[in-house]
Homo-oligomer: A and B are copies of this chain.
Amino acid sequence: MPHDAALCATQQPCEICPIRYRAVCAHCEGDELAELEGMKFYRRYEAGQVVVWAGDRMDFVASVIAGMAGLTQQLEDGRTQMVGLLLPSDFLGRPGREVAAYTVTATSDLMLCCFRRKPFEKLLIENPRIASRLLEMTLDELDAARDWLLLLGRKSAREKIASLLVILARRAAALVKRRPEGRIVIELPLTREAMADYLGLTLETVSRQMSTLKREGVIELDGKRRVIVPSFVRLVTESGDDSDGGPLS
């Protein structure tokens, strides 16, 4: 069956696809996934709830269906850095690793489509197509991590905030509404503290920079968690990287 973009792009969870419910679905991949029935289950978490603690045994891997989660790492003295951002269609867990290396926390209400580890690993071996899809996704994640390294290592606080908004606007189509005249509305699925942990800043600095961007008209705030972007191009400029790749630019 041919790829059905409309069906794949829907916000409804695909009931069959094991990995990426939006870009790959039963309608695209065919019957090879039918065997997955019976090895998967859904779980929901509330904002702030911990999915797994680093060091805990994790007997499943999962695909994010809705909401957002963060992978988090800590130094002994409590300094915290987010090291992974999971949005719908992202994959959680690592084949072959039974013990979680990072703490996973729902930063907003979260819905996961989970697969029991053992049968999933068996599936990977038997089904090179899924394995290769997983490799591709991992490579994309690595690229994202590398952009993040540049952000953490070399960008100013203001550029970091702008970059985060750009990332959310580009990746989280579900969070974004386009308004007439090109205005964009972003529902922030993170607290200021989670933003700070993502950006390697303190929450006070995040708050101050949000205020500054607002004062200068780069963004508007409607409540604390809704950001309106009058000019996306302007926001991208503020983010420091000129890459015009990706949607919305």
Show the binding face of A for B, using Cβ within 8 Å: 71, 73, 75-76, 79-84, 94-96, 101-102, 124-125, 128, 131-132, 134-136, 138-139, 141-143, 145-150, 152-155, 199-200, 240-242
Contacts and interface: CB of A to CB of B under 8 A. Distances in A.
B143 A142 contact: no
Contact of A153 (B102, B125, B152, B241): B152
Contact of A134 (B135, B142, B152, B240): B135
B152 A149 contact: yes
A175 to B, nearest CB: 23
A200 B149 CA distance: 9
Nearest to A128: B128
Contact of A146 (B73, B80, B131, B143): B73
Contact of A149 (B95, B124, B145, B240): B145
A149 B83 contact: yes
Contacts of A146: 71, 73, 83-84, 101-102, 145
Nearest to A239: B75
